[in-house]
Structure formats: C-alpha cells, structure tokens
Structure 1
Amino acid sequence: MTTAVGRVGADGMAATPARRVGRLHREGLAAYLFLSPALLFFCVFLILPFIFAIVLAFSDWGGFDLSTLKWAGFSNFGDVLSFDGTFVKPILVNTLLFAFGSVFLATFGSVLVAYCIDRLSFQGFWRVLYFLPVVATVVAIGNVWKMMYQPAGLINAVLNKLGVNSVGFLSDSSYALPSVTVVHAWASIGGAVLILTAGLKAIPEMYYEAAEVDGANSWHMFWSITLPLLRPALLFVLITQFIGGLQSFALIIVMTGDGGPVNATNVAAFEMYQRAFKFGAWGTASAMAMVLFVIILAITLLQLWIARRRGEETS
C-alpha cells in the first residue's frame, strides 16, 4: 500500500513539469494569436517595404513595371554621395541644420514650458493648450505661419511698428530655413511638454525639500535635481525630436512649395519625394533613404551612448 502511494506521488511530481511546459506552450500560442494582427501589419507595412527599399537602392527602376527592374550595384549610392551632386551639399547640410535647430528650439522650449506648467495652477488646461498644435494638421499650421511670414503679415507688421524694415522670411534664402525651423519646433513642443511634465511629476518632492533646507535656490535645484532626474524623459524627447526633424518634409512643401528659394529649404526627405514621385528615379530615392537611415541610426546610438556614459559618471 505504501509502495503504491509512493509510486503515485512520484508519478504526479514527474507529470507536473510536463503539464507546466504544455500550459506555457498553449499560453505562448494564444499570445502569438492575439498579436498576429499587429505582427501582420508590421510585416506588410514596415518589414516588406524596408526590404524592397534596400533592393531598390541597388537597382534601377522607373516605378511602374517590376520586369524593368535592373541591378545597378552601388551606382545609386555613388550618385547620392558624390560631392559634385546636390545631395551632400546643400540638401544634407540643410537637413542637419533643420534637424539640429528644431531639436534645440523644441527641447529648450519644452523644458521651459513644462517646468513653468509644473508650478502653475490649472495644469491640465495649460497642457491641453500647448498640445493643440500637435493635433492640428501640418497644412493648417504651415498656411497660418505662411500668412504671418508674408511681407504684409502679422510678424512684419510688428517689426514695422518697432521701426524695423520688412523681412522676407520665406523669400530670402538667408531666412527661409530658420523660419521653417522655428515653425517645426513650435509645432512639436506640445508632445514633448506632455512627456516632460510626466517626468517632472515622477521626481519626489523630498529632494526639493532637502535642497531648500540646505539653502539651495531655484536655479541650483533645477540644475542639480530636476535635470539629472529628468534625463530619461529628456533623452526620449531628444531622440524622437531628432528623428522627426530628419524625416520632416510636409511643412517644407506647404510653406515653400519646392524647397526654395534656390534650394535653401530643400531637405533630404523632400528630395527623396521629388526623385521618386516626380522624376521616377526610385533607385536614387531609395539610396537616399538608406543614407538617411544610417545617419539617423548613428546619431541615435551616439545619443544613447552619451546618455549612458553620463549616467555612469553621475552614479
């Protein structure tokens, strides 16, 4: 009797891991089943187009019949990276200036706005107010600012009242790119403000109370407490803002039409759009996309590396 009971207990203990593995297997299948719509969408609209773009970057194709697809090797990359062409200078230079300028303005402005909102009453109202440009369409934002930038627009009217001559914000090649950069930064502040205000709310108040007891002023608390503890949210904002700046071209189309004057506002994404859909040079456009992808990846990895190094130094 005792031997039979011991055998049943041993069999039950031996069967338990097998049942556990079977249950985990069924749970895994159920998880993949629920994820299958998202995975299918990801493969159809992201993975397959990315692979096709890589193929096109090494091919010569007019964009209509796949039977005309011809292998071109690295010739597209040679044309794109040639210093005699227009992609490296001024298009790539304009892209980097536009991205870095918008990132600096948007990040600085969002930190300032989020810090002020965190110390105001009716914080929900102010967050919604600053988030409204994110909800608005690029066409609406571009057209409103385009009217404000006109020689008879609001901004020049204010400058004339102050005794300053009218400025050709969108017609002068010296002012066109900075003018569009300011608009892009203004339109992207709202999303960054929401992220940074959430990061500010996560900072414990006891740090500020201890610093106040030690006699620290507002600037010392901001520089020594707020910014270090806000680093994860700030890093996310920097990366997303920079990627958005490098990929932006809709605002360029709305405000300048053709990247003018004299290619002053022509950026990489807009040039890719023109090469593919206007001139039918899909191979060259895909090569530009690959070059831009490598630049975005390199800068993102550099930002992550710098943030990790600073985190190790301060820890």
Structure 2
Amino acid sequence: MTTLNGSSPATAPTASKRSRRGSLAKSRRRQAWAAWFFLSPTLLFFGIFLVLPLLFAIGLSLSVWGGFDLTRIEFTGLDNFGAILSEGSSFVAPILTNTLLFAFGAVALALVASVAIAHAITRLRFEGFWRTLYFLPIVTTVVAVGNIWKYLYEPGGGLINGLLNAVGISSVQFLSDPDTALPSVVVVQAWASIGSAILILTAGLKAIPHTYYEAGELDGTTAWSAFWHITLPLLRPTLLFVMITQFIGALQSFALIIVMTSGGPANATNVAGFEMYQQAFRFGSWGVASAMALVLFAVIFVITLLQLWFFRRKGEETS
C-alpha cells in the first residue's frame, strides 16, 4: 500500500525524522560556533597572558638566561632545580620555610578574625557600613599599608611601642630583630587581607537559612553550640574558598616584604616571591627565578589539593 505521493507509510515518517535530526544538528553547530565566537576574546587573553608565559617559564627553568636577549638562552636541563633544592641552598631553608610560616600564620590569623568579625557584623545595625570599613585596607596600596605599619612598629616614636612604654614595657625591635620580624609582617598581611574574607563570609552567613537556628532554639541549643554545629558546617564551602584564595595570595606575597623589611634582617623575612624578584631583576638569573616559581607553584598546588581533600572528608563525616 502506498500514499498519494508514491511513498509507503513506513518511509514517510522516517524521512521526516531524518530531516528533523539534520536541522537539529545544524542548529547545535550554529550554537557551538556562536559560543566559541563569544568565548574567543577570553580564550585569547587566557592563551597570551597565562599559557604562553607558563610555557616560557618552564623553558627558562631548564635554561640559563640573563634577560632581554632570546638568542642567548642556553639549555641546562634540571641544573637550576638541582641548585635551588640542594642541601646547601638557602631556598629550602630559610626561604621556603619562611614562605610557609608566613602563609600559614597570616591565613590562620585572618581566617579566625574574619569569621568572628563577620559573625558579629551580621548581627549589628548598619551592616553595610561595617563591611565597607573593614574592606578599606584592600583598596589601599601595599606601599601605603607597609609604610604606615613601619611607622607603627618604630622603636622610638611608633604608636605600638609608645603604648608599651606607657604601661612600663620596654620598646620592641619589631622589624630589626630576627625573632620578631616575620611575626610582625604576618600580622600586617593578615590585617591587610581580612577585608575580602569578611565580605565573602558575611555573604555566606546570610545565605544560611534561619530555620536551622529556629530548630536549634527549640532543642535548647546555646549560642556557642549553634555556631559550632550549625554555622560552621553550613559555612564550609565559603570557608574553603576563602582559605584557598588567602593561601594563594599569602604564598605569592612579596610586595609587603619589599616595603617593610627587604627580606631582612639576616633573611628572617625573605620569602619565595621576594627571592624570585631578586634572582630575576637584581642578579639576572631568570632561569633560577623560573625554577623557584615552578617549585612554588607545586607547593601551592599540593596545599590546595590537601585543603580540598580535608574539607571533602569533613563533609562526608558530617553528612
């Protein structure tokens, strides 16, 4: 049996389905091309300013180069890594050790303080004013922040030592004593980075449904217990983001070191970022600086993975 146009009833729907599939495939291809077109500026920027410099840094880490003359790059293999990771190298100790102490100390101080302040801000009037007030150090240049704190730390006329002297405590050589220089800069780093953490954490706190706290009140939960068993577990994704970004920023920090101590005294505040800057721009050892940068990248990558694993494990335990 055939239809009026000569085709059988079985073949007519099949041809229609093929036509619809073909038009759907063409539509998807057009959408894909449109997506790639709109993504192309970002991908171009990403390739030029991230992928190419990364590949160039990897090449430099395996070479010796004095800078600015690409014809004088000499391939040396893993010699740069052997030099900075050898037993007598100062990169592992004290520089890399200082970097980790600086990062862990600054992040610990900033995270504890930002959680406490953000928790208090969400319960105060004029919340926007307080968020803006704590965010001001972020928009202030590192040079200004470093110089202001240098004056605060001055042993002669600084405000901090003035307060200590007023209560009968002798002046402290905050930035000139190897034992106190690194902790002093850690405090400044934590203070300068606390604003962004507070801004993100207040948003995370406001996203927690109030019904959880109402249920806790019905069960007789205290304020501290509600904070420990309700607020912190539900704030875990926000805390993870803040911790990772704070760690990356602290491990890469070097501008504050340049302004306040220039790595001194006696390398007590010399960190990886500052040492890379010195090797490249002061000594002209771009290969060594690139090798240090890749080692620091590996450290940041490992610490980030450990944080992700820890928070995922904690989430599985509480779920």
- Offset of residue 185 of structure 1: 0.5
d(CA) in 1 for partners of 2:63 and 2:244?
A: 31
Asked if residue 292 in structure 1 is aligned to residue 300 in structure 2, the reply is no
Give the aligned partner of residue 236 of structure 1: 241
1:71-120 CA-partner distances (Å, limit 9, x unpaired):
11111001110121110111011000000000100100110111001111
Give the match's secondary structure for 1:265: coil
TM-score, normalised with respect to structure 2: 0.96
1:76 to 80, 84, 95: 80
Say yes or no: does 1:191 pair with 2:196.
yes
> Does residue 1:281 correspond to 2:273, yes or no?
no
Cα distance between partner residues in 2 of 1:52 and 1:112? 43
Matched, 1:105 2:109: yes
Q: 2:30 aligns with which of 26, 35, 55?
A: 26
**Counterpart in 2 of 1:271?**
275
Aligned counterpart for 2:66 among listed residues 48, 62, 84: 62
Q: Deviations over 1:166-225 (max 9, x none)?
A: 111111111111111100101111111111111111111111011111111100000000
Report whether the alignment pairs 1:47 with 2:47.
no
Superposition pairs for residues 205-224 of structure 1, below 5 Å? Answer: 205-224=210-229
1:135 aligns with 2:152: no
Matched, 1:158 2:163: yes
Name the amino acid aligned to 1:237. Answer: V
**Unpaired segments ≥5 residues, structure 1:** none
Does 1:262 find its partner at 2:266? yes
Counterpart-to-counterpart distance in 2, 1:226 and 1:83: 46
2:127 aligns with 123
Q: Which region of structure 1 is more displaced relative to structure 2, 10-19 or 157-166?
A: 10-19
Post-superposition offset of 1:9: 4.8
Number of aligned positions between the proteins: 314
Partner Cα distance (1:132, 1:47) in 2: 33
Tell me how far 1:300 sits from its aligned partner: 0.5
CA distance in 1, matches of 2:31, 2:173: 63
Secondary structure of the structure 2 residue equivalent to 1:195: helix
Determine helix, strand or coil for the equivalent of 2:179.
coil
For 1:138 and 1:185, locate their aligned partners in 2 and report how far apart those are by CA, in whole Å.
13
Matched residue, 2:185: 180
Give 5+ residue unaligned stretches, structure 2: none
Deviation of the 1:3 alpha carbon: 4.9
Instruction: Specify the SS of the correspondent of 1:120.
Output: coil
Pick closer, same or farther for the CA change 1:164–1:3 going to 2, 3 Å.
farther
In 2, the alpha carbon distance for the partners of 1:71 and 1:45 equals 24
> What is aligned with 1:227?
232
1:304 matches 2:308 = yes
2 CA distance for matches of 1:236 and 1:170? Answer: 32
Deviation at 1:10, TM superposition (A): 3.9
| Partners of 1:238 and 1:254 in 2: CA distance | 25
User: C-alpha separation between the residues in 2 aligned to 1:124 and 1:8?
Assistant: 66
